[in-house]
Amino acid sequence: MKRMLSGIKPTGGLTLGNYIGAISQFIKYQDEYEMYVFIANLHSITVAQDPKELRQNTKDLIALYLAAGLDPQKVTLFLQSDISAHAELGWILTCHSYMGELQRMTQYKDKTAKGETNITAGLFTYPSLMAADILLYDADYVPVGIDQKQHVELTRNIAERFNNKYGETFIIPEPVIPKVGAKIMSLQDPTKKMSKSDETTKGAIYLLDEPAVARKKIMSAVTDSIGIIRYDEVNQPGIANLLTIHSVLSKESIEDIVERFSNHGYGDLKKEIGQLVFDFLSELQDRFKEIKNSGIVDEVLRQGKEQAEQIAYKKIRKVKRKVGFEIVK
């Protein structure tokens, strides 16, 4: 069975973008692949975190994974910081990454371009740690939203470089990007990604938003003055984004939705999507509450750690041997 791995940072609330771009894919593939899903808490501290909030966000993220439908019988669910091999391999791969290639990574480039002053060294080396996450488990596939594609490509380059120098060590992974929903846009500015750290919370639907509040956000989503419902990312990015959200939640194809709404205005379309989002969040949050009250989260993490560490420690030992750290055979 091929192996698949992905992670999400426990920073701020999870958005509908995270669900559509990442989590819904994990669920879709959990029967088909040997699946590893983790909480990228080492990555989260590349920007300042409040420890209390981090703890809370971590617990919520695990409960959300489960509420969304990840089955701990099928998926190994774990905390990145529980497996010290991530940090160890992260360092080794940092030493096999070039300044130039890290400088080209969008996240760092954007923050520098904006003139942000408190950028940590960790934010710069972040992609090398992400490479370690993936290569440690010999993942064949990495399901992510489009924004992470360049990190998986960098991972491939680092893996090839390492294999060339030390002999076959790592599997070369492939990104898996969803056909619909690889980049859900902000409801307030549909030319920007819907993001956890959106300046206006009206632009993002959080998975733990009150369903009625989320519905209002859909109703006030920015569209255009063209007035025709069709899928045109360039000229009508707001409507294209709404159609995408509809299609993912309703499982109806975009063409069918467009056809059904051919004689309708934007208000009607928004109303239907508002209801879909309302129902989706209500159900998800009911399950979320149940899971949080059940105490299952601790047990899932304990089991996940046990399963993940067996693979990770075997790999890190091999890597240490290859680079010349282990002197006793």
Residues engaged in binding ligand TRP (CB under 6 A): 5-9, 40, 43, 130, 133-134, 142, 144, 148, 151
Q: How far is the CB of 137 from ligand TRP (least distance, A)?
A: 9
* Residue number with the smallest Cβ distance to ligand AMP: 21
Q: Which does 142 bind (CB under 5 to 8 A by kind): ligand TRP, ligand AMP, none?
A: ligand TRP
**Please, which residue, 147 or 252, has the CB nearer to ligand AMP?**
147
Residue 292's binding partner among ligand TRP, ligand AMP, none (Cβ under 5 to 8 angstroms by kind) is none
Sign of CA dihedral 196, 199, 201, 203: negative
The rounded distance, in Å, linking the Cα atoms of 3 and 138 is: 7
Residues 6+ positions from 206 with CB-CB distance below 8 Å: 13, 14, 15, 16, 214
CB 2, min distance to ligand AMP, A: 19
For residue 224, what are its two tokens? 């255009």
- Residues with Cβ within 8 Å of residue 301, at least 6 apart in sequence: 62, 77, 78, 79, 82
Chain-centre distance for alpha carbon 149: 11
- Burial code (b: 16+ CB inside 10 Å, e: under 16) for 299-316 equals ebbeebbeebbebbeebb
Residues within the interface to ligand AMP (CB under 6 A): 8-9, 17-18, 20-22, 144-145, 147-148, 182-184, 193-194, 196
320 is catalytic: no
131 interacts with, out of ligand TRP, ligand AMP, none, CB within 5 to 8 A per kind:
none
Report the residue number, 106 or 294, with the smaller CB distance to ligand TRP. Answer: 106
Please report how close the Cβ of residue 23 comes to ligand AMP at its closest, in angstroms: 8
Q: What is the dihedral of CA 58, 62, 63, 69, to 10 degrees?
A: 150
**Smaller CB separation from ligand AMP, 182 or 269:** 182
CB nearer to ligand TRP: give 16 or 258: 16
Shortest distance, position 110 Cβ to ligand AMP, whole Å = 13
CA gap 271, 242 in Å, rounded: 11
In the bound state with ligand TRP, the residue whose beta carbon lies nearer, of 47 and 254, is: 47
CB–CB of 270/218 below 8 Å? yes
Distances (CA, A) of 119 to 47, 258, 289, 311: 8, 44, 36, 33
Please pick, among 193, 217, 270, 315, the residue that the annotation labels catalytic: 193
88: Cβ contacts below 8 Å, ≥ 6 apart = 316, 320
Task: Please state, in angstroms and rounded to a whole number, the distance separating the CA atoms of residues 195 and 211.
Answer: 18
196 is catalytic: yes
Closer Cβ to ligand TRP, 133 or 209, answer by number: 133
* Partner touching 194 among ligand AMP, ligand TRP, none, CB below 5 to 8 Å by kind: ligand AMP
What is the radius of gyration, based on Cα positions, of the chain? 21
What does 134 interact with, of ligand AMP, ligand TRP, none (CB < 5 to 8 A by kind)? ligand TRP
**Residues in Cβ contact with 201 at an 8 Å cutoff, skipping those fewer than 6 apart:** none
Cα 256 to its chain centre, rounded Å, is 28
Catalytic residue among 59, 74, 111, 149: 111
Give which of ligand AMP, ligand TRP, none residue 18 binds (C-beta under 5 to 8 Å, depending on kind): ligand AMP
Residue from 196, 202, 305, 320 carrying the catalytic annotation: 196
Q: How far apart are CA 313 and CA 317, in angstroms?
A: 6
CA 53 from chain center: how many Å? 19
Does residue 28 carry a catalytic annotation? Answer: no
Q: Find the shortest distance in angstroms from Cβ 12 to ligand TRP.
A: 12
Element (H, E) at 172: none
Nearest to ligand TRP of 43, 270 (CB atom): 43
Q: Which does 196 bind (CB under 5 to 8 A by kind): ligand TRP, ligand AMP, none?
A: ligand AMP
Active-site residue set: 111, 193, 196
